[in-house]
Amino acid sequence: MTVAVPRPTTAALPRVVGSALRVPLVTGELVEYANLDHAASAPCLEQVRDAVDELLPWYASVHRGAGFASQVSTRVYEQARAAVRRFLGARSTDAVVFTRNATDALNLLARSLPRHTAVVLFDTEHHAALLPWRGPHVRRLRTPSSPAAAVPELDRALREAPVGPRLVVVTGASNVTGELWPVAELARVARRHGARIALDAAQLAPHRPVDVRALGVDYAVLSGHKLYAPFGSGALVGRGDWLQAAEPYLVGGGATSRVTDHGDRLGVAWAAVPERHEAGTPNVVGVHALAVACDVLGRHWEQTAAHERALLARLREGLRTVPGVHELALFEGDRDRVGVVSFTVGGQDAGYLAAALSAEHGIGVRDGAFCAHVAVHRLTGDRRALRASLGLGTTEEHVDRLVAALRGLVTEGSRWSYEQRDGRWAPCDDRRALPPFLR
């Protein structure tokens, strides 16, 4: 298939681990894996892997260790805060609290809100941004018809919000459609009403620069596993006063500055932010991996954006040639987006198609509702969808293989038999061997 779209660039693109991975098909062949599931978890950058390998001989528990390895690990851990702050364009006074992922970071922020804080958000957020906020002062707004229409909608909601502390929660790029939200414009509205604003940058940060100061947001969260650093680390970055006033998210070693025995009770003086919310032995390796990924991506935005724009255009143009494909969109019209495309295919079951794409073509896509059930069910009429998401490991061949495979499944059907097991489609008589480390 020939599609008249821009050519992706490979010049100076960061390389990912597993770019030459070959996977077995149910038909017996081995093919290069087409990873079109970057929005769920991105592969590891080679620079990140190398940095982790370099650190591991020096790995030790951080803080309060007299040993030289502990001092090295402590330096690595604390320097990572500067890398994340630099990557997000955060203020020098902003706290950088390391968490497990963006979900953990948003839950930490939710636990740190002053009492009776009014929270306003749009209802098609990812569950990580939708669910942590509880209580009578949470207002969920329906997604408007356009990014521009979101601005007056938020303005009206804040005019009606109770007096007192207020927080607006916004997503940078939709987890479902990749469409961009007008973060800077929404932040200006929030400030005009004396509200703070938190940005879920998990899906945006791997694709576009995020500048906390330029956008005017008070908090930002991200996940390492979406940033090509899949070692279990994320971050909450932003104003420290609410975090400092809140009880620790977790209690234990590291979160305390002093514990005293008063007989019938313990006296506890909590540490200051960020240690206040980092109880337990921290994930030094994951934090270092996140910092390295931030530095690498920050040096390659122009090449990354050009690569993804070309592949996204190729993918969307190709999907238009497949009978029955309906692309999902939150907003009317064709809006700016990152490399994420969700769609349905006529009367085809999304789970069945995903299983066939994997088993017969070596293609990895996501099916379901993508932890954004409200958005997907509203856009599909309560159906599951398919999501293809691009990244640094994606090639033209991967995109073309997906389009050709979908067309073949729709017009000719699958070449293999499938059955449902525990609610998931799987190939019958699947004899593909697992990799040796799993045998």
Per the rule left: phi > 0, alpha: psi between -120 and 50, beta: everything else, 198 is: beta
Residues 103 and 92 sit within 8 Å (Cβ to Cβ): no
3-state secondary structure of 425: strand
What is the spatial distance between Cα 11 and Cα 117, in angstroms, rounded to a whole number? Answer: 48
What single letter denotes the amino acid at residue 329?
Answer: A
What is the Cβ-side half-sphere exposure of residue 152, based on CA atoms within 13 angstroms? 4
Strand order in the sheet with 340-345: 325-327, 340-345, 385-389, 366-368
Q: Which of 118, 170, 168, 128 shows the shortest CA–CA distance to 147?
A: 170
50 Cβ partners below 8 Å, 6+ apart?
A: none
Q: Label residues 180-189 b or e (16+ Cβ within 10 Å = b).
A: bbbbebbbeb
Cis peptide before 274 (omega within 30 of 0): yes
**CA of residue 63 relative to chain centroid, distance:** 29
CA distance 308 to 297: 13
As to burial, measured by CB atoms within 10 angstroms (0-12 exposed, 13-18 middle, 19+ buried), residue 226 is buried
3-state secondary structure of 119: strand
Catalytic residue among 44, 294, 371, 428: 371
- Distances 300 to 140, 176, 285, 390 between C-alpha atoms, Å: 36, 25, 23, 16
Burial state string for 402-414 with b = 16 or more CB within 10 A and e = fewer than 16: bbebbbbbbeeeb
Distance (Å, whole) CA 342 – CA 38: 13
Catalytic status, residue 371: yes
The Cα 412–Cα 402 span in angstroms is: 15
Instruction: List, as one string, the DSSP characters of 170-226.
Output: EESB-TTT-BBP-HHHHHHHHHHTT-EEEEE-TTTTTTS---HHHHT-SEEEEEGGG
- DSSP element (H, E) containing 47: helix 46-55
Tell the residue number behind the tokens 């931030």, with chain if given: 294
Which residues carry out catalysis? 371
